[in-house]
Amino acid sequence: MNLLAESGSGIFLIWMGSVKLKSMMGMALLAAAASVLAWSGWALYRERYPSWYEEVRLSDGRIITIHQKRSYHSHYGTLQSWVTINLPELGGKRVWYSRLRPQRVDVVDGKVYVFGKPAGITKNQYYRYPKNFMVGFVWNGADFVRIPFLSIPERAREEENVYPCIYTQLSLLTIQQKDMQWCPITGDRWKFGKTIKLEDYQALANFYAGLDNGTTHSD
């Protein structure tokens, strides 16, 4: 009887150990699956809402660090953008929100200017088909308010200084990196790069307005 009891007890312990091992393996698999799902979710979020820090050189020689965040769709480009800027002229950290692809942040004579360009017909409609394609704003002490693009001082609209492409690295985008390699030249009939050629942007503005059977009519 004792032998049978000991044998039965051993079998029970082996069975319990097997159940415990299966349970531990199940928990490990669940944890691994949860980790994969979390990583996939984060990757999808990063793809849909890419964000990064980058250095920006102002026309007065200062180098500041801004933070960019975009609402982005691979078929349509930038849908919305949030650019966080920290400047004494702003009284600290402020966010410039727009439905534009940001191009420049600058300070001239104590005033903070920003501008960007819309993507596609819908965003051009939203900004009432700007004559110069690009849409400018100035900080008025409380918010960034839209102004005629050509009222931005010329030295602040000669070239882009905010990275208009999507930066996918987690590291800071430095001035050195931007100086070495800017976004690729885009456009077919007109070419668009870091240097801003106003006549090409004006031609593009007329082209987009024509696609919607309209004309450019906002500054």
pLDDT of 44 > 90? The answer is no
- In terms of average pLDDT, the best of 3-12, 16-25, 182-191 is 182-191
- In terms of average pLDDT, the best of 8-17, 40-49, 61-70 is 61-70
pLDDT in tens, 195-213: 999 999 999 999 999 988 8
Q: What percent of the chain has pLDDT over 90?
A: 69
What is the average pLDDT score of the chain? 88
Confidence band, pLDDT 50/70/90 cuts, at residue 43: low
Extract the tokens encoding 20.
Answer: 């415990």
pLDDT in tens, 99-136: 999 999 999 999 999 999 998 888 999 999 999 999 99
Residue 5's pLDDT is what? 53
Residue 8's pLDDT is what? 60
Q: What is the rounded CA–CA span in Å between residue 67 and residue 93?
A: 10
pLDDT of 37 > 70? The answer is no
Contact 197, 187 (CB under 8 A): no
Confidence band, pLDDT 50/70/90 cuts, at residue 28: low
pLDDT of 149 > 80? The answer is yes
CA dist list (Å): 92 to 13, 85, 88, 98, 198? 67, 8, 6, 19, 32
Residue 34's pLDDT is what? 57
pLDDT of 39 > 50? The answer is no
DSSP the chain: -HHHHHHHHHHHHHHHHHHHHHHHHHHHHHHHHHHHHHHHHHHHHHHHS-EEEEEEE-TTS-EEEEEEEEEEETTTEEEEEEEEEEEGGGTEEEEEEESSEEEEEEEETTEEEEEEE--HHHHHHHTT-BTTS-EEEEE-SSSEEEE-GGGS-GGGSSB--S--S----SS-B-HHHHHH--PPPB-SSS-BSSB--HHHHHHHHHHHHHHTT----B-
Confidence band, pLDDT 50/70/90 cuts, at residue 171: very high
Task: Classify residue 28 as exposed, middle or buried by CB count within 10 Å of its CB (0-12, 13-18, 19+).
Answer: exposed
Residue 32's pLDDT is what? 56
Q: What is the rounded CA–CA span in Å between residue 23 and residue 151?
A: 69
Q: What is the rounded CA–CA span in Å between residue 211 and residue 205?
A: 10
Tell me what the mean pLDDT of segment 153-164 comes to.
Answer: 97
More confident residue, 9 or 173: 173
More confident residue, 212 or 39: 212
Residue 136's pLDDT is what? 98
Tell me what the mean pLDDT of segment 17-35 comes to.
Answer: 65
Tell me what the mean pLDDT of segment 182-189 comes to.
Answer: 93
